[in-house]
A and B are shown apart, each in its own frame.
Chain A
């Protein structure tokens, strides 16, 4: 990975500036653009682009941060499972400090719960084989990008005939969430930046429905040059008052996506009729449950999970952040009652969370 030519970056930034300022003048307000994917939010903030375009662009986050959209009840149930004497929880690091209603995994781990931070979900299969006296539970949070790896893990566990391996299925689909958001009014968005990684799996065609809503959209990559390219393509459409779905990441994203990844997903999972999202509520056909032949691996068949019903952390506005209604700076708790060392909500902890990105990269 060579350093991108700084001259090229600056030249492209100037083009984005002039298109953006023109659109702003025409609208007599800032141009409102949502980056659906959390990794985009972080990449924009980290590269400094969010600040550089801040005078004419109002960048909003979307429902593309897997930890942030996980429903509070799911979090509480996962953490309740961690407290049981015979469980070993396997999770990605992002989840460790996310506040549930009563506790965090980090706290439960310090109190003696068995919590293993994995780098690859496949570690869960080895752990289950090595620890026959524990029920090993893989917390399966993520989108279409994570689902294939979780599926591969499940197939390995099934092949190994493990009877102490379970999933907590909380995998979700991005397109239905975006559809729900747009049907809900879409917060007067002028444009959308579609998730590069999810599109790699599903193909850019998966987002063609966006066209129906008359909002220009672009699939973009994550490097500074790709981010600027995405903004350029999008602002050009906005200025031309043309609503299409364009692919500015075509060297990676194909129209039909990654077929073998899709096959893995279809082999192991089926659509859950209704899935609950933080901020968006119940959305039909927006989550994955285990396909019938693998249903015994669902941890909910092994333990009855009862946690008091809760809506969300009462004061945290993550639900409004991930639906683009507000930006992190507009949350009254931001950097007051909520900081990365004492987070009030998942958006301040997740490495793809908007509040965490704004705290880390944008606070002055």
Chain B
């Protein structure tokens, strides 16, 4: 990038926000260096075939400030994040590993609380954490704990989930309100009063797997809209599926408190993370059945159809309540609070 305006010869925080700069890093450094048939699927988990069984494997690192937030903590997040990547790949989670880089100076009690929360979350899912690693480093602050988890799951025989499957007239479904986690973290940092603060939706998505198993053949692809929110996730799906996804703004479920925090900080809620929601693209004929099954579970009560696939070039559009249309684009730079 010799003509760059803001030449970036070092890694900057925006390289980790899941938006344009993250993609640029993946395309220019990681994919070319590691390229192979499994990595190049570029799914939330890699699908591996062994003796006619399909296994899914995924890995994720977690950094979050504050470590404890309304609705969860980094430990719960580290289990749910990896579990959910397996679930949306159509896999039943079987085993988990966990690696920790502990910051020098971290209060022992704090670490105990995080580990206990991980154990409780995993136990609730009957998911054993079977191996791990611990290192200590100067992470730049006593609360800068880094956790990395890896998960292996068994892919359901009926699942063939891939964005390439998406066709015009397919329907986009979300399993509940959007942006809860991102808004909770922002308000925790902002120090909002508890009654105004949204709660993180951090939760495992196992119900999506259990409920929807019989309908897997009708489901084209699933994703969990974490970093970068539904906007980033849907842009990734649309561009690899070679269709346009057109969303109806008024049908996207969002909690009033989440909307209020987004307005206050001048960020777009479609870019705020969820940590307990699934996005699904399903055949139009199956949409009602999928919705009904999702809504049977308390975590899926607010599931809604939010858009459709149309022939196109891989873009995502939002139809606003006024009848205007705007395109949702990859973020360049983490959504950050504004000045006034």
Q: Contacts A3-B250, A99-B6: A10 and B336 contacting too (C-beta < 8 A)?
A: no
Question: In the assembled complex, how far is the CB of residue B274 from the closest CB belonging to chain A, in whole angstroms?
Answer: 20
Partner among A45, A92, A104, A107 whose Cβ is within 8 Å of the Cβ of B338: A92
Contact A9 B322 (CB under 8 A): yes
Whether A258 is near chain B, meaning CB under 8 Å from some CB there, is no
Contact A143 B333 (CB under 8 A): no
Question: In the assembled complex, how far is the CB of residue A243 from the closest CB belonging to chain B, in whole angstroms?
Answer: 28
Whether A52 is near chain B, meaning CB under 8 Å from some CB there, is yes
Contact A337 B3 (CB under 8 A): yes
Q: How large is the interface on B (under 10, 10 to 19, 20 to 34, 35 or more residues)?
A: 35 or more
Partner among B6, B191, B259, B321 whose Cβ is within 8 Å of the Cβ of A119: B191
Contact A48 B336 (CB under 8 A): no
Whether B21 is near chain A, meaning CB under 8 Å from some CB there, is yes
Contacts of B326 in A (CB 8 A): 45-46, 48, 51, 361-362
Contact B333 A349 (CB under 8 A): yes
Whether A134 is near chain B, meaning CB under 8 Å from some CB there, is no
Name which residue of chain A comes closest to B321, CB basis: A6
Contacts of B329 in A (CB 8 A): 359-360, 363
Contacts of B4 in A (CB 8 A): 342
CA distance A109 to B334 in the complex (A): 15
CA distance A117 to B189 in the complex (A): 10
Partner among A42, A142, A313, A364 whose Cβ is within 8 Å of the Cβ of B339: A142
Whether B312 is near chain A, meaning CB under 8 Å from some CB there, is no
B11-19, B142-150, B208-216 - interface stretch: B11-19
Cβ proximity bits B270-292 to A, threshold 8 Å, 1 near / 0 not: 00000000000000000000000
Contacts of A197 in B (CB 8 A): 340
Contact B5 A52 (CB under 8 A): no
Number of A-B contacts (CB under 8 A): 142
Cβ proximity bits B8-28 to A, threshold 8 Å, 1 near / 0 not: 101111100001110010000
Partner among A106, A107, A145, A341 whose Cβ is within 8 Å of the Cβ of B340: A145
Contacts of B256 in A (CB 8 A): 1-2
Whether A49 is near chain B, meaning CB under 8 Å from some CB there, is yes
Contact B10 A111 (CB under 8 A): yes
Contacts of A47 in B (CB 8 A): 320, 322, 324
Question: In the assembled complex, how far is the CB of residue A196 from the closest CB belonging to chain B, in whole angstroms?
Answer: 11
Question: In the assembled complex, how far is the CB of residue B302 from the closest CB belonging to chain A, in whole angstroms?
Answer: 15
Contact B339 A6 (CB under 8 A): no
Chain A: interface residue total (CB-CB under 8 A): 60
Q: Contacts A349-B333, A361-B326: A104 and B189 contacting too (C-beta < 8 A)?
A: no
CA distance A341 to B333 in the complex (A): 7
CA distance A145 to B340 in the complex (A): 6
Name which residue of chain B comes closest to A50, CB basis: B324
Partner among A92, A120, A313 whose Cβ is within 8 Å of the Cβ of B191: A120
Contacts of A107 in B (CB 8 A): 6-8, 10, 12
Whether B42 is near chain A, meaning CB under 8 Å from some CB there, is no
Name which residue of chain B comes closest to A95, CB basis: B339
Whether A340 is near chain B, meaning CB under 8 Å from some CB there, is yes
Contacts of A94 in B (CB 8 A): 336-339
Contact A99 B5 (CB under 8 A): yes
B contacts, CB < 8 Å to A: 1, 3-8, 10-14, 19-21, 24, 186, 189-191, 250, 256, 259-260, 266-268, 320-327, 329, 331-334, 336-340
14 contacts between A and B (CB under 8 A): A3-B321, A48-B326, A92-B338, A104-B6, A107-B7, A107-B10, A110-B13, A119-B186, A119-B189, A120-B190, A143-B340, A337-B5, A360-B329, A363-B327
